[in-house]
Amino acid sequence: MSRFATSRSLGPDAPAYPELVGKRVLVTGASNGVGHQIAEAYAQQGCQLILQFDSALQSDFSFAENLRNLASNLRVFDCTLDDEAAAGRFAETAVRAFQGIDVIVNNVSSVPFDTDGAKDLEAFDDAIAENLMTACLLSEKIAEAMRSRGTAGTIIYAAEVGDLTNDDAFARYAVAKVGLEAVTQGQAWEWAEDGIGVNALLAGPEAAPGEIAGAAVYQATEDAFWISGKTLSFGT
């Protein structure tokens, strides 16, 4: 099954991947730098965007409003994705908004900035839930919607890994992000016959601006159909 039509190269003022025009793209974690870059990159391709913001982290939504002139359609949702119920509700809302999703970029994360109780089991569970499990559950819901509609698509896990081993608090976050590699491989195998590609993109401290965003857009193209179950690292 082919996910998208054949891509073509056009002039510098046209979308690099015209087959992506109008595709329905969900980006979580659009409150931060990588999420901003990914959303803008897809908007430049004329995609329809659903952006998940968390006003507890980002009160200024003007960035999203600036994308309205680029994206063919834009919806912004202010919500948290911190448990299974929240992920399920948001998945249903996103699918209804555009009658389906073609691409989901899981960029939502919660980095601990304190070391108090870093070795506490409950704190560790919270880090895994917020940075790994809810993203997995959201992907499963979106993949289920793709399969039920007989459409294929792309699932991407994006994360800033940075230097996460300096203390125990950051180590918890790192464990969750490393877990994305196993999840990526497992889901890629599970959904291969449905034409659903699954990959992870990890940005290290030396990643160049826009690298992750460019890779995220490329993963949704026909040229990248053969890439699935891979974790691509940048600047690590």
pTM: 0.85
Helix (H, G, I), strand (E, B) or coil at 87: helix
First-last CA distance in the chain: 34
Tens digit of pLDDT at every position of the chain (236 positions): 434 333 333 344 557 899 999 999 999 988 777 888 999 999 999 999 999 988 776 656 777 878 988 999 999 998 888 778 888 999 999 999 999 999 999 987 655 545 455 556 666 666 676 777 888 999 999 999 999 999 999 999 987 765 544 555 566 667 777 788 889 999 999 999 999 999 999 888 888 878 999 999 999 999 999 999 999 999 87
Q: What is the model's pLDDT at position 34? A: 86
Task: Supply the pLDDT for residue 81.
Answer: 85
Rounded Cα–Cα distance for residues 126 and 95 (Å): 27
DSSP lists the bridge partners of residue 9 as: none
Whose CA is closest to 220, among 157, 155, 144? Answer: 155
Q: What is the DSSP letter of 130?
A: I
Count of positions (residues) in the chain = 236
DSSP, residue by residue, 88-105: HHHHHHHHHHHTS-SEEE
Whole-angstrom Cα distance, residue 225 to residue 197? 7
- Cα–Cα distance, 201 to 107 (Å, whole number): 10
CA 228 from chain centre, in angstroms, equals 15
- Domains, the chain, ranges and CATH? 18-234 (3.40.50.720)
Single out the residue of 206, 217, 204, 209 nearest to residue 156, CA to CA: 217
Position 76 scores a pLDDT of 92
Looking at residue 129, what DSSP letter applies?
Answer: I
